[in-house]
């Protein structure tokens, strides 16, 4: 009986660690580095691909940011980045463009359902999540925006016990050349 219990415990531990993306080899490409550190993850974005609309070119903003461990899923699209954790806690980053907007002092503010929907609906659809759950605020959870007027970081649906930790990590956001 003890052997069976030990096998179940070990299997559970292995499978639970395996469900997180940041327990493996770091990712290094020509446009990003994702370094899986012991206590947090370091994400560095350095793409040389720019966006354009008509004759206007929008230059990609390069940045680095520290993120919590235990990433369940992550995606990027243009200058938008989505990092998902257990319980659909999401850190959304819109890095802005170098030649659009001015960075100022970082501030924290409340958000609302319309802003959350605009920022997360594309990710929500790709993950095939129930759209109604995106709109409702949950007890014991917080959703706030941290921004300097150029870059915007949305901490969505974060458990109150995790909020300060997540916020301290994303405050590491810095622009790089």
pLDDT band at 109 (very low <50, low <70, confident <90, very high): very high
Residue 18: pLDDT over 90: no
Residues 6 or more apart from 33 whose CB is under 8 A from it? 26, 27, 42, 43, 44, 46
Give the count of alpha carbons within 13 A of 96, CB side only: 18
Give the mean pLDDT of 38-56. Answer: 92
Domain ranges, residue 10:
2-176
What is the average pLDDT across 149-168?
A: 96
29-43 mean pLDDT: 95
**What is the value of pTM for the model shown?**
0.85
At 33 the pLDDT is 95
Instruction: Give the number of domains in the chain.
Output: 1
**Concatenated DSSP letters for 126-151?**
HTT--HHHHH---TTEEEEEEE-SSS
pLDDT at site 99: 82
Q: Are 66 and 41 in contact (CB under 8 A)?
A: yes
Q: Which pLDDT band, with edges at 50, 70 and 90, does 23 fall under?
A: confident
Percent pLDDT > 70 in the chain is 88
What percent of the chain has pLDDT above 90?
63
d(CA 44, CA 173): 10
Confidence of residue 165 (pLDDT cuts 50, 70, 90): very high
DSSP 3-state of 33 = strand
Round to whole Å and give the CA distance between 175 and 56.
Answer: 22
C-alpha neighbours within 13 Å on the C-beta side of residue 163 = 16
Rounded-to-integer distance, Cα 62 and Cα 23, Å: 25
């Amino acid at each position: 009986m003890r052997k069976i219990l030990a096998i179940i415990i070990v299997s559970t531990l292995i499978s639970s660690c395996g469900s997180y993306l940041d327990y493996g080899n770091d990712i290094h490409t020509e446009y990003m580095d994702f370094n899986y550190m012991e206590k947090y993850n370091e994400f560095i974005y350095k793409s040389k691909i720019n966006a354009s609309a008509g004759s206007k070119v929008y230059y990609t903003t390069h940045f680095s940011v520290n993120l919590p461990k235990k990433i369940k899923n992550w995606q990027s699209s243009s200058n938008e980045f989505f990092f998902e954790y257990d319980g659909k806690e999401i850190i959304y980053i819109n890095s802005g463009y170098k030649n659009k907007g001015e960075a100022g002092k970082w501030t924290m503010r409340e958000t609302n359902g319309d802003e959350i929907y605009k920022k997360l609906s594309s990710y929500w659809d790709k993950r095939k999540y129930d759209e109604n759950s995106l709109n409702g605020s949950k007890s014991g959870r917080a959703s706030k925006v941290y921004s300097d007027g150029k870059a915007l970081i949305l901490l969505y649906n974060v458990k109150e016990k995790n909020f300060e930790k997540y916020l301290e990590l994303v405050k590491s956001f810095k622009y790089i050349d």
